[in-house]
Amino acid sequence: MPEKVVRIASPYQFAFFVAVPFFLFGAPFSLKLDSCLIAQELPGEGGRPEVVLTDAARILHESVLLIDGHNDLPWEFRERGTPSFDTLDISKPALELNTDIERLRRGGVKAQFWSVYVPVSTRLNGEALLQTLEQIDFVHAMVKRYPDTFSFCRSTSEIELAIKEGKIASMIGVEGGHSIENSLTVLEKLYDLGARYMTLTHSATLDWADASTDEGKHGGLTEFGEQVVVRMNELGMLVDLSHVSDETMRDALRVTKAPVIFSHSSARAICDHPRNVPDDILPIVKANRGVIMVNFYSGFVVPEAGERNRLLQTETTAWKQAGDNESVVKSKTTAWRKTHPLARGSIHDVVDHIDHLVKMIGVDHVGIGSDFDGVDSLPHQLEDVSKYPLITQELLNRGYTEASIQKIMGENVMRVFREAEAVAKKLSTQQK
Ligand SMILES: [Zn+2]
């Protein structure tokens, strides 16, 4: 997550969830009115034509190793009170979510990093680790519940095997260093439970790392923060630099011995938001052999939306400085959003980010990190997990070769994961 404030509904979802209950029950339903606000802003975003899927793109997409860096389905379930898979069965169409099995298959998803995000506020009541463990349990339970669809994977060789067996390789990403509660031992335990990346921070600056959307306290990473990165290298856990401040990016890139990922971040030159990667960091990512997995959230991809989010950030900081607590800030944010709706943008905006990164540092350092089920607004033609083939189509339309598309869709992040495993192996041999 959660870059979330209000939830968006597609026109179809709108018809289903609003019109149908009204027709059946004739009474107001617990409708999220915010949805209407954004849903009205629909297509033609940017005035660019819709992307139309051709057979050539469909066939190519079936062959790509699509690995998405960030999906928040576990958090979406938690927000709904963690219903059982009996009441919210993702083997059936679950149109209130961005993700279900049938749409994952249509989207050609071969492997997914499932985020086990818990809010940074959990560090204040001592529940960060506990709730993270519950989210990890959720992913394991999901794989167990749908064994014909998912296969839990701890390594690149397990990912390859899962894909060969026709399963969706399922990995865990921990979103935010608050989950380790300032302990390297906890970090190791999370690795043992299957976590294969950790985003160093979420939205708040920690005792050991500055976040991109909070005041910096350390000028990047503290000494302990550097130890966290080194320990992750030794374990073979990917260092994820989404959400961290520019200084933390620089420090982590200086310290790490393995290539890093940005599991769900886009290009700041296109959409000027601190969650995106600035141009001056890009050559360092290239030198590190890392990969930036482009986020689909409207607020990070549409240029005007970035501006609006920065405005909100200024307001939020002022509310906090005036002494508003977390729940007051949350309700003020919701009210602010209603009067300042986000522009959704379209698939073209997302591909603009891919294009920019490729032009800056080449095709070997770009990937896909949707943020599905963690955001409240998604671009036209990228509303859910079934839509990835349209990215392949638009890349073909823009003249990308099949080999380049294969890399962007997943080969790049597989290479990074493989290299991180090799670094871990090398470091453990050196220690012996
Ligand atoms: Zn996030």
429 CA from centroid of ligand 1 (Å): 34
pLDDT at 330: 83
- Tens-digit pLDDT profile for residues 282-341: 999 999 999 999 999 999 999 998 778 878 888 988 998 899 987 898 899 989 988 988
CA distance 256 to 287: 12
As a whole number of angstroms, the distance between CA 170 and CA 203 comes to 25
Q: How close is the Cα of 284 to the center of ligand 1, in Å? A: 22
23 belongs to a structural domain: no
In a domain, 327, yes or no: yes
Average pLDDT over residues 43-48: 64
CA of 175 to the centre of ligand 1 (A): 7
Cα gap 10→214, rounded to integer Å: 32
Average pLDDT, rounded, for the chain: 90
Active-site positions? 70, 72, 175, 202, 243, 264, 371
What average pLDDT score do residues 393-422 get? 98
pLDDT at 210: 98
Residue 29 domain-assigned (yes or no): no
Would you say residue 234 has pLDDT above 70? Answer: yes
Q: Tell me if residue 149 falls in helix, strand or coil.
A: coil
Q: How far is the CA of 242 from the centre of ligand 1 (A)?
A: 7
The tens digit of pLDDT for each residue in 67-91 reads 999 999 999 999 999 778 999 999 9
Mean pLDDT, residues 21-33 taken together: 30
Asked if residue 41 is part of any domain, the answer here is no
Question: What sign has the CA pseudo-torsion 71, 178, 334, 340?
Answer: negative
Residue 351 located in a structural domain: yes
In a domain, 4, yes or no: no
Q: Give the per-residue pLDDT at 2.
A: 64
Residue 263 sits at the vertex; the CA angle it makes with 201 and 73, to the nearest 5 degrees, is 90
User: How many Å lie between the centroid of ligand 1 and the Cα of residue 273?
Assistant: 13
Residue 259 lies in a domain: yes
Task: Report the separation in Å between the CA atom of 106 and the middle of ligand 1, taken as the mean of its atom positions.
Answer: 25
pLDDT of residue 283: 98
Single-letter amino acid, residue 59: I
Distance 16 CA to ligand 1 centre (A): 28
Instruction: Answer whether residue 377 is part of any domain.
Output: yes
Q: How many angstroms separate the alpha carbon of residue 27 from the centre of ligand 1?
A: 36
Domain that residue 276 falls in:
60-431
Domain count, the chain: 1
3: CA distance to ligand 1 center in Å? Answer: 6
Q: For residue 202, give the amino acid letter.
A: H
d(CA 23, ligand 1 centre) in Å: 37
What's the pLDDT score for residue 313? 82
> What is the model's pLDDT at position 105?
98
Which residues 6+ apart lie within 8 Å of 33 measured at CB?
A: none
- List pLDDT tens digits, range 154-201: 999 999 999 999 999 999 999 999 999 999 999 999 999 999 999 999
Residue 367: CATH number of its domain: 3.20.20.140
Angle between helices 303-321 and 326-339 (to 10 degrees): 140
Per the model's pLDDT, the better-predicted residue between 124 and 55 turns out to be: 55
